[in-house]
């Protein structure tokens, strides 16, 4: 799945790549942990010319209370491509309320000899990602506060990600820049939406291991060192080499 990602580029760098106005300024994020429900930049189908601030963890419009919303959003960080048209929490949003989640890397864990090793995954050119997402607007009944939230869509892992995320073998849907405008079109047919929800090519990505502090509760991981390479000699064993080079 995808519960951790980054947007390390400065706002000025992203603005050169995306012809859109920005609702609010933002600072680079080296580690967005979904379970803290961070506010992150997205572009929605309703306002494709604006980068807006939305909270990760989709709250469906039919949620009854804030207590229910707080319970539910930990389960709606991701939406599976194979059930997104069926699950009650997501099926209302995939037809017309799709969004691009801006990112330039994500984190996933490999399990090896009963230990977990975090990896940082980027584009080969370290360029910008457009994760496929869906979004919702929910108003808290008692206070009238508006919550703008999103979920990242996941798909089957490509070969590289299957070796890294070797327990669940999933990955986020990464849309090529040529598909960004199409993805945001509200009237996109269901058949075309499904065609876009596939894994990106292996050759598009590269990955390296990072420090285990990434998964440590309470650790400050929103800094540059989080995405730096950390070597684990045991992963250079002949057994591990064969997994990546067979």
Q: Which tens digit of pLDDT belongs to each residue from 116-125?
A: 999 999 999 9
Q: Where are the alpha helices (DSSP H) in the chain?
A: 11-17, 66-72, 159-164, 180-183, 190-196, 238-245
Band of residue 27 on the pLDDT scale cut at 50, 70, 90:
very high
What one-character-per-residue DSSP string does 162-223 give? HHHSTTT-EEE-B--GGGHHHHT-TT--HHHHHHH-SPPPGGGEEEEE--GGGGSTT----S
Distance in angstroms (rounded) separating the CA atoms of residues 176 and 90: 23
What is the mean pLDDT of the segment spanning 209-235? 91
The conformation of residue 128, written as its DSSP 8-state character, comes to -
Tell me the per-residue pLDDT of 164-199, one tens digit each, with 9 for 90 and over.
999 999 999 999 999 999 999 999 999 999 999 999
User: What pLDDT does 216 receive?
Assistant: 84
pLDDT of 60 > 60? The answer is yes
Band of residue 105 on the pLDDT scale cut at 50, 70, 90:
very high
What is the mean pLDDT of the segment spanning 48-67? 97
Domain boundaries, the chain: 4-245
Band of residue 241 on the pLDDT scale cut at 50, 70, 90:
very low
User: What pLDDT does 219 receive?
Assistant: 86
What is the mean pLDDT of the segment spanning 17-26? 89
pLDDT of 246 > 80? The answer is no
pLDDT of 237 > 70? The answer is no
Residue 50's CB is within 10 A of a number of other CB atoms, namely 13
Distance in angstroms (rounded) separating the CA atoms of residues 179 and 160: 22
Tell me the per-residue pLDDT of 147-167, one tens digit each, with 9 for 90 and over.
999 999 999 999 999 999 999
Q: Which fold has domain 4-245?
A: hypothetical protein yedk fold (3.90.1680)
Q: Check residues 237 and 27 and name the one with the higher pLDDT.
A: 27
What is the mean pLDDT of the segment spanning 81-108? 97
pLDDT of 63 > 80? The answer is yes
Residues 6+ away with beta carbon under 8 Å from 24:
53
What is the mean pLDDT of the segment spanning 38-61? 97
Q: Pick from 118, 122, 112, 148: which is nearest to 242 by CA?
A: 112
Length of the chain: 246
Q: Pick from 158, 186, 190: which is nearest to 174 by CA?
A: 158
Q: Check residues 239 and 111 and name the one with the higher pLDDT.
A: 111
Q: Exposed, middle or buried: residue 146 (CB in 10 Å: 0-12, 13-18, 19+)?
A: exposed
What average pLDDT is seen over the chain? 93
Query: Could you tell me the sign of the dihedral formed by the alpha carbons of 174, 202, 117, 232, in that order?
Result: negative
Q: How far is CA 188 from CA 92, 121, 169, in A?
A: 14, 29, 28
**Core vs surface per residue 182-207: b (16+ CB within 10 A) or e:** ebbeeebeeeebeebbebbeeebbeb
């Amino acid at each position: 799945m995808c519960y951790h990602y980054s947007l390390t580029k400065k706002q000025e760098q992203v603005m050169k790549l995306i012809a859109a106005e920005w609702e609010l300024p933002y600072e680079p994020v080296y580690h967005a942990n979904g379970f803290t429900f961070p506010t992150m930049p997205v572009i929605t189908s309703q306002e494709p010319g604006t980068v807006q601030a939305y909270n990760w963890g989709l709250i469906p419009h039919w949620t009854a209370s804030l207590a229910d919303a707080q319970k539910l959003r930990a389960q709606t960080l991701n939406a599976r491509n194979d059930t997104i048209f069926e699950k009650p929490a997501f099926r209302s949003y995939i037809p017309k309320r799709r969004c691009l989640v801006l990112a330039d890397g994500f984190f996933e864990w490999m399990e090896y000899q009963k230990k977990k090793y975090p990896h940082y995954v980027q584009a080969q050119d370290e360029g910008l990602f457009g994760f496929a997402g869906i979004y919702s607007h929910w108003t808290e009944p008692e206070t009238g506060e508006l919550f703008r939230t999103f979920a990242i869509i996941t798909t089957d892992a490509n070969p590289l990600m299957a070796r890294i995320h070797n327990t669940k073998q999933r990955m986020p849907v990464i849309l090529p820049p040529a598909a960004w405008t199409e993805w945001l079109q509200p009237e996109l047919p269901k058949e075309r939406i499904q065609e876009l929800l596939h894994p990106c090519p292996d050759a598009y990505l590269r990955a390296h291991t990072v420090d285990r502090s990434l998964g440590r509760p309470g650790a400050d991981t929103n800094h540059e060192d989080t995405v730096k390479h950390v070597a684990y000699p045991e992963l250079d064993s002949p057994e591990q080499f064969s997994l990546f080079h067979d």
